[in-house]
Structure 1
Amino acid sequence: MRPPPAPAAVQHDIEQFLYFEAQLQDERRYVEWLELMAEDVHYWAPTLTTRTKRERKFEVALPTEVAHFDDNLQHLQMRIDRLGTGQAWSEEPQSRTRHLITNVIVHAQAENGEHKVLSNFLLYRRRGETNPPDVFAGCRVDVLRPGGPAGWLIASRRIELDQTLILAKNLSIFF
């Protein structure tokens, strides 16, 4: 059953927030990007396995199972701080990224002012001159709450990559 949609003005505002967030990432403005996170943020990407139709409910790993990354605000801060040291060899030279966000569905507001937001993404990454580009596709399930410098804070983000096998040499970027 389709959940009730958010009002059009809220839909538009949240879409603009997500596009702004993508712009910060693509411009490598990670310190500003981190300000969009709630203090209790849960930012994670569960693994995905290929399953038969009858086992499809086990396709995405549970929160207690292995994940590509499972970060809180302090972990995100450490990752961003490391990028600034020059010692993050997986990002020397830094990646050039392009985040494309689409199919944004904003659920009606919860009692506490938060919105559940589903979106699809395509993330293109290029490192150096000779490395082949990486392309990631998938969906994100966000919980956004009012606040922060851009009007919303990301309280949680679950990134579900469509790839079961990631051929990229690292996952040192943000989704």
Structure 2
Amino acid sequence: MKTSEPTAMPAAEAVGGREYDAVRDFLYLEARLADESRYLEWEALVEDDMTYWVPRGEGDFDMNRHVSIIADNRSRLRTRIAQLATGKRHSQVPVSAMRRLIGNIEVERLADGALQALSNFVLYELRRSSTGKLEVWPGRVEHRLRRRPDGSFGMYFKKVMLVHGDEALPSLAFII
């Protein structure tokens, strides 16, 4: 499966005010929908050219040449969501309880007019199905967003850089 990481573009300007607030609100909504396993609603935020990428660590990786934890194009992401939406994905029965905190949000306008949001997060996952263990998933996220004709944002790129991405990880059977 070939995925395409958008080419790096220099930021033209930092974004503030109402536009920053709108991006922040989008990040909060996206996180809440994922935390609540509302995957079909989460999927509505995604563009047709979406890339969803979790590299193996925080280094400078090429998603087409290096091993990734997840490297989904839109088609593969659609399949992942369909599996999760059945409620029968064995690693998520019953569904893990999740909550994430998001902070240090930086928003920039890219040269093509799209917006890039960088943020730190900590996700807490209670694995009810197996050990009852509380897993902690810290990292940094890069979102790339475009305005849709109705004024809402569509997400076309999400890169999740886990602090412990180079370590042995438990199953990542949810949208991080």
Q: TM-score, normalised by structure 2?
A: 0.84
Residue in 1 that maps onto 2:69: 68
Sequence identity (%): 31
Residue in 2 that maps onto 1:9: 18
* Alpha-carbon offset, residue 131 of structure 1: 2.5
CA distance in 2, matches of 1:166, 1:150: 41
Q: Is the 8 A contact 1:17 1:150 kept in 2?
A: no
Q: Is the 8 A contact 1:144 1:153 kept in 2?
A: yes
Q: Is the 8 A contact 1:6 1:109 kept in 2?
A: no
Residue in 1 that maps onto 2:95: 94
The one-letter code matched in structure 2 to 1:28 is: S
Seen in structure 2, the aligned counterparts of structure 1 residues 107 and 81 have a Cα distance that, compared at 3 Å, is same
Q: Is the 8 A contact 1:42 1:73 kept in 2?
A: yes
Seen in structure 2, the aligned counterparts of structure 1 residues 36 and 20 have a Cα distance that, compared at 3 Å, is same
Q: Which runs of 4+ in 1 moved over 6 A?
A: none
CA distance in 1, matches of 2:126, 2:149: 31
Aligned pairs, number: 164
Q: Which runs of 5+ in 2 are unaligned?
A: 1-10
Q: Is the 8 A contact 1:35 1:149 kept in 2?
A: no
- Would you tell me which structure has more strand in proportion to its own residues? 2
Residue in 2 that maps onto 1:48: 57
Q: Which runs of 5+ in 1 are unaligned?
A: 50-58
Q: Is the 8 A contact 2:97 2:126 kept in 1?
A: yes
* Alpha-carbon offset, residue 142 of structure 1: 1.4
Residue in 2 that maps onto 1:81: 82
SS at match of 2:21: helix
* Alpha-carbon offset, residue 148 of structure 1: 7.5
* Alpha-carbon offset, residue 80 of structure 1: 1.6
Q: Is the 8 A contact 1:142 1:157 kept in 2?
A: yes
SS at match of 2:13: coil
Residue in 2 that maps onto 1:151: 152
Residue in 2 that maps onto 1:55: none
CA displacement, residues 59-106 of structure 1 (integer Å, 9 cap, x when unaligned): 343212110011122212211211233441111111111021111100
Residue in 1 that maps onto 2:118: 118
Q: TM-score, normalised by structure 1?
A: 0.84
CA displacement, residues 138-166 of structure 1 (integer Å, 9 cap, x when unaligned): 10111110127781111101110000214
